[in-house]
Structure 1
Amino acid sequence: MNIAYLGPNGTFTHEAVSQAFPHAILTPAPTIQMALEWAESAKVDAAFVPLENTLEGTVSMTIDYLFHHSTMTIQAEYTLPIAQHFLLSKKTVQNNTPIVKVVSHSHALAQCHSFLHKEHASAEWIPMSSTAAAAAYVKENEDQPFAAIANKKAAEEYDLVLATENIHDVERNHTRFVLVSHETMTLFENKKKKTTIMVTLPEDRPGGLHSVLSAFAWRKLNLSKIESRPLKTRLGQYFFMIDIEEDWSSLLLRGSVEELEALGCEVKVVGSYHATYLEG
């Protein structure tokens, strides 16, 4: 199977997809949208993309593409613990010179603020397009006393030294990734499936969202997530992404969707799938 993922090599997406699919052909894409477009047009078999992070919230590019442009469905969900490490070139370690520049993605720099303030307050902190790009930059400038904040996969990819491990401020930081494809796949079976739907209300009226939630509440269906996103038609118009802890084959869930459609809602089923955890 050929899987497109958000590259370059050494990103957290690369780390996650490598664990989840060690024998697949992995094709890096420069953006989330391009990875999804390649899968949508069948240039690859599937796309592996981030959906949500504990600290930064939902990845809007993924949700918006699945709602507005895609006929693919989610086949599986993978949650990866996010651990940030302080990476140096081998020459910098040998020379033991003070670090003058720390590079990483802006989110990673923010997630490691306490460590940087305590250990490298005098260094320049420079944001880059990704943690992997930061690791590549340090490798390309290995004669300079620069450091990158990235993961272990990046250290392996760019032959850097793990100078200090686990420098992130928040311990329980995770990212949810999803595999999306036109092809129906059963990749693992561990627990009951959950189902993701996207709902557009018929009009902006008082109690509209309450009516949607009531369709699940009286059937005692548990919602693990609900989030609104702009419809991109006019100001104040939204669709709702809802995760339900129920298999799409459930008569109760199908009854809920039928009730929503009877209310005039548009409902898009984005997938019914299993979820699992990866090692950090």
Structure 2
Amino acid sequence: MHVGYLGPKNSFTYQAASYCFDSAVLTPFTSIPNCLNALKKDHIDYAIVPIENSLEGSVHTSVDGLFNQKDIQVYQEIILPIEQQLLVKNVTVIPEKILSHPQAIAQSQTFLETYYPDCLIEQVASTTFAAQYVANHPTESIAAIASKEAAEEYGLHILSRNIQDNRFNQTRFWLLGKKPLKDSLPIEKLTLFITLPNNAPGILHKVLSAFAWRSIDLSKIESRPLKTELGEYYFILDVPVTNNKDLINYALEEISLLGATIQHLGYYPIVIKER
């Protein structure tokens, strides 16, 4: 089995992939679009990408990259605890510049504002790239925000531990593919992309009512621009699945009759990695 992930090695996405697969060939990609494109072209069997962080919200590159990808489905959700560390090559260094991925920087904003308010913050492609850069430039007064696994991989010291703004910081990752996995995990969630018909007054209310009057819970509702004209959106809905599959299907039939377009990303299980 060949699984692609947002790399490089020891990124949080790599950790999610390693947690799911102990015998697959794991291949890093430099960006989420590159990873999704490899899956679309069947260069890999599955892909794992970040989809949402509990502090910073949805990873829009992943969400928008999946929109209108008719053949790609979600087969599993992995929830990974995210603990950010401030890493240096030399413990005596006083950082003048801190490097990391934009999400990691945002997740550690309170720490940075409190302890390094005058430090230059530089965004890079990944937390692991930041750690690797610090390891390769030992004479510079720089630090990286990355994982403890990255510290171990590149021989860095942890200057400050668990600097994320919330100790319950978590990221959702999706295992994507075109064919189901052979597992027996219970189905827990459904994700939908819904595009509403134009010039239909009250249509969003009607769509949501199809779930509400059937007592179907929605754990997430989010809008994303269609990237056509200003003010045009599609909606992301997460639907918890218990014993209500038939009711959900009836709701989707009603929504289709209202003229909405539904992209069904699939029913899938949720796997939570403990801290």
| TM-score (norm. length: structure 2) | 0.92
Q: What percentage of residue pairs aligned between the two structures are identical? A: 40
Contact 2:56 2:107 in 1 (8 A): no
User: Cα 1:187–1:155, aligned 2, differ >3 Å: closer, same or farther?
Assistant: farther
The one-letter code matched in structure 1 to 2:40 is: E
Report the alpha carbon displacement of residue 120 of structure 1 after superposing the two structures with TM: 4.2
Question: Match for residue 201 of structure 2?
Answer: 206
- 1:179: how far off? 0.5
* 1:24 maps onto 2:24 in alignment: yes
User: Are residues 1:150 and 2:146 paired?
Assistant: yes
Q: Distance in 1 between matches of 2:110 and 2:190?
A: 38
Matched, 1:109 2:105: yes
Paired AA for residue 16 in structure 1: A
1:258 matched residue in structure 2: 253
Shift in CA distance, 263/106, structure 1 to aligned 2, threshold 3 Å: closer
Runs of 4+ in structure 1 displaced over 6 angstroms? none
Distance 1:157 1:167 in 2: 19
Question: How much has 1:247 moved relative to structure 2?
Answer: 6.5
2:257 is the alignment partner of 1:274 = no
CA contact (8 A) 1:113 1:169 kept: yes
Superposed displacement of residue 261, structure 1: 1.1
Hey, what does 2:214 align to over in structure 1?
Answer: 219
Structural RMSD (CA): 2.0
* Cα shift at 1:252: 1.1
Q: Unaligned stretches of 5+ in structure 2?
A: none
SS of 1:269 mapped into structure 2:
strand
Q: Helix, strand or coil: the match of 2:47? A: strand
* 1:125-204 to 2 correspondences below 5 Å: 125-189=121-185, 191-204=186-199
Tell me, what secondary structure is at the counterpart of 1:223?
A: coil
How many residues get paired?
275
CA distance in 2, matches of 1:222, 1:207: 20
CA pair 86-238 structure 1, distance change in 2 beyond 3 A: same
CA spacing shift, 1:247–1:197, aligned 2, 3 Å: farther
- Equivalent positions of 1:54-93 (< 5 A) are 54-89=54-89, 92-93=90-91
The answer as to whether partners of 1:248 and 1:272 remain within 8 angstroms in 2 is: no
Q: Is the 8 A contact 2:187 2:267 kept in 1?
A: no
Tell me the distance in 2 between the aligned counterparts of 1:259 and 1:121. Answer: 53
Distance 1:71 1:113, change over 3 A: same
The structural deviation recorded for 1:18 is 1.5
